Amino acid sequence: MQIKIRNERPEDYKVVEEVAREAFWNLYFPGCHEHYVIHKMREHEDFIKDLSFVIEVEGKIVGGIFYTQSKIVAEDGKEYKTISFGPVFISPEHRRKGLGRKLITHSIQAAKEMGYRAILTLGYPYHYEPYGFRGGKKYSISMPDKKFYKGLLVLPLYENALDDISGHVVFSDALEVNEEDVEAFDQSFPPKEKKFQESQIEFEKAASLLDE
């Protein structure tokens, strides 16, 4: 199996959005909005183009990872620049082959080489702990509501990167979309049925789990 990881190029855009749509459809809620998030994100000031990667198998794009600027805001209002990834995805037919691991590992290494302080992301701890991510509570980093959630995950990119820093994370508004815009954008793709599946309950529970 010939595998290649490279930066996303403009000619990849539509294919990447199609693969993302397939990967996320009905996963967290009926339908999905990640394909639109990616579409919109590329034009946003917080988008980090050099950390946007696709993974190919035999020359065909089967996944991608996207990064935006984020920050930790301390109690005194001081801001510390960080970065965040998401969406990250592998097409359904190529899952469980270690491709997601290769993609994430590649991007973390690139972020280290570019000198970034830390990566903050939202997700299932069991997905990201193997890469060294730990819950935000360990680093005294909360969500904006000042609560510590198990799903807020933090990875310092060099030694002592987060020493003497505490506060709450602010993610880029590039990740925010409204339903009408998603619906309008989705019209340019083949119709798919929105429906309920078990993973949506798991996601809802995980999203509210506090780290106590």
Q: In the prediction, which pLDDT does 206 show?
A: 86
Question: Where does the pLDDT of residue 135 fall: very low under 50, low under 70, confident under 90, or very high at 90 and above?
Answer: very high
Q: Do you find a cis peptide bond into 87, omega within 30 degrees of 0?
A: yes
Residue 212 reports pLDDT greater than 90: no
Q: In the prediction, which pLDDT does 174 show?
A: 96
Residue 117 reports pLDDT greater than 90: yes
Q: Does residue 152 come out as left (phi exceeding 0), alpha (psi in the -120 to 50 range) or beta?
A: beta
Nearest 5°: phi and psi at 13?
-50, -55
Considering only CA atoms, which of 78, 68, 79, 80 is closest in space to residue 172?
A: 68
pTM equals 0.95
Considering only CA atoms, which of 85, 26, 19 is closest in space to residue 50?
A: 85
* CATH superfamily of this structure's domain 3-173: Gcn5-related N-acetyltransferase (GNAT) (3.40.630.30)
